[in-house]
Amino acid sequence: MKKPLILVISAALLIILFVVGNALYKHKQSEKLGFLAQDEAELFVRPHSAILGSDTAKVYLVEFMDPACETCAAFSPFVKKLMDANPGKIKLVLRYAPFHQGADYFVRILEAAKKQGKYWQTLTVMFQSQSYWASHHNPRPELIWHFLEGVGLDLEKIKQDMGDPAIARIIEQDLADAKRLNVTKTPGYFVNGKPLVTFGYRELQQLVEQELKVMYPG
Amino acid sequence: MSRSSTLTGADWNFLFICWLIAAISTMGSIFFSHTMQFPPCVLCWYQRIFLFPLVFVFATGLLCHDQAVVRYGLPLTWAGWLVALYHNLLYGGIIPESIQPCAQGVSCTENYIELFGFLSIPMLSLLSFTSILILLSILKRRFSR
């Protein structure tokens, strides 16, 4: 056999091996997470987790997010649209993975806002104003307060409640679960325990629709 | 040194094994980061910087049957080997963690996998660089003869 041919064939074999290995691993991983979802459902939903949507919804969309993450902000309206398109069928569970430096500051504000019953409004304002306070080269977390004025929160109370050690424990728990579930980037999505393997709007929509079909046949 | 002469027979096979090691290591490292989603630490990136081009340098040498490939491959291999050595010393705790350069982001002593109980990712890297280094050194001696 000609020598260049040996090289080309080996390279081709290696690439095929990689592609097959990649697919096999991802398949195995999503199977494993499926089992985790059956055996350890609490990994996905903790009692402290914020939940949006109907109680009777059968499709759990679990999102590991970071208030300072641009992609999380960009996905937020898309997820709302997905939920509106399937009323009563999807339940959004928010988990924290504050990987950005200083992001737990915003998680603490969110959790404090939850006590005043304004969790989702606060989150919306956070995402909408994110580009002002979360610039990568010049983060200015204090700017958030200006935007929060519009939500109708008791800001003094927020500042008091933010330091609650219970919130630190929530973040710790969520980060531990994120690690177990191999979430290394935000947003990390799971639909009824199945991970979003290839990231993208359309892929997320497909995964949700696939679960909707399983849970609501016909 | 004389003008580069052609690569033949056993020498070609030696270089082919070098290429194979570099290619498999490259794929393995991409598998760890892309498929298994292990974020690579800073030191891993430095090793990758020296490892990835080797695949192309060796492939070009193999296709052109060029002995000079050893001259271009050795500096990259040495550099990668040194970083791998440092990484293993750090990982093994021989160099204290306090002077490690990656306080931010992923820790270079983060333990992702241990195959058969001792093969960590930095160890795999050191093994690849060492074997390529040995093979290239043998080739260099054969050429200078």
What ipTM was estimated for this complex?
0.75
Please determine, for residue A205, whether its predicted confidence score (pLDDT) is greater than 90. yes
pLDDT of residue B116: 65
| CA–CA distance, A184 with A189 (Å, rounded to integer) | 11
Q: What average pLDDT does range B70-87 have in this prediction? A: 95
The 10s digit of each residue's pLDDT in A38-91 is: 777 788 888 899 999 988 888 999 999 999 888 899 899 999 999 999 999 999
Contact A14 B16 (CB under 8 A): no
pLDDT of residue A61: 93
Which pair of structure tokens corresponds to residue A71? 């992609």
The 10s digit of each residue's pLDDT in A139-159 is: 788 888 888 888 888 889 999
**To the nearest whole number, what is the mean pLDDT of chain A?**
88
Please determine, for residue B33, whether its predicted confidence score (pLDDT) is greater than 90. no
Q: What average pLDDT does range A192-204 have in this prediction? A: 87
pLDDT of residue B107: 65
Considering only CA atoms, which of B7, B25, B5 is closest in space to residue B132? B25
Local confidence band at A31 (pLDDT 50, 70, 90 cut-offs): confident
The 10s digit of each residue's pLDDT in B98-135 is: 554 444 456 666 667 776 667 888 999 999 999 999 99
Contact B16 A4 (CB under 8 A): no
More confidently predicted of A47 and B8? A47
Which DSSP string do the residues of A3-41 spell out, in sequence order?
HHHHHHHHHHHHHHHHHHHHHHHHHHHHHHHHHHHHH-G
> Cα angle at A83 between A81 and A86, to 5 degrees?
110
CB-CB neighbors (< 8 A) of A18 in chain B:
27, 30-31
In one letter, which amino acid is B86? Y
| Residues A113-132: b if buried by 16+ CB within 10 A, e if exposed | bbebebbbbbbbbbbebbee
CB of A85 within 8 Å of a chain B CB? The answer is: no
Contact A7 B16 (CB under 8 A): yes
Burial grade of A81 (CB within 10 A; 0-12, 13-18, 19 or more):
exposed
pLDDT of residue B1: 42
pLDDT of residue B103: 41
Please name the residue of chain A whose CA is at the shortest distance from the CA of residue B104: A101
Which DSSP string do the residues of B99-115 spell out, in sequence order?
G-S--SSS-TT-----B
| CA–CA distance, B50 with B79 (Å, rounded to integer) | 7
To the nearest whole angstrom, how far is the Cα of A88 from the nearest Cα of chain B?
Answer: 34
Contact B37 A182 (CB under 8 A): yes
